Amino acid sequence: MAEGVFTQLVRERGWEDRISIDSAGTSSYHIGELPDPRARHTMQRHGVTLTSRARQFTEADFDDFDYILAMDRNNYDNIVRLASSPDQKERVWMMRAFEDPAPTAHTSNDEVPDPYYGGDQGFEVVYTMLTRTHNHLLDQIAKETGWTE
């Protein structure tokens, strides 16, 4: 869902040629599978079709991305453990650090809740949360780069 929301917001700003987006987990569960049907259904209600397939995060991802966002503390810790330099560690953020429009820390005690074991409403809550945090992240990127819409 995070990849889909971010892609949608980047497209709305006209920055598709400036930002590369991808999604990966830190475990090998579900590699090659599509997102949960409830996540796909929620995103379709918001005009986004999720087509990417699950893959596992690798150390090579540090070379490709300036921001690496973790949904929860466990994934954050797993990603940081793969970092081989302080520069790589600085790229890792907890997703909800961007609840604040101007985050001062890479971590947050708040995690994105996992809606997997709940009903459809949980996916809607996560969609709303991701939209808010991603907009703040894009505002941060705009400030850092001087990009305007």
- At 1-41, the pLDDT tens digits run 999 999 999 999 999 999 999 999 998 889 999 999 999 99
For 37-89, write each residue's pLDDT tens digit.
Answer: 999 999 999 999 999 999 999 999 999 999 999 999 999 999 999 999 999 99
CATH class of this structure's domain 2-145: alpha beta
Between the alpha carbon of residue 33 and those of residues 3, 30, 56, 89, 134, the distances in Å are: 15, 5, 12, 28, 24
Q: What residue spans define the domains of the chain? A: 2-145
| pTM (2 d.p.) | 0.92
Burial of 49 (C-beta count, 10 Å sphere; 0-12/13-18/19+)? exposed
Query: In this structure, which amino acid lies at residue 95?
Result: M
- List, for residues 87-107, the tens digit of each pLDDT value: 999 999 999 999 988 888 898
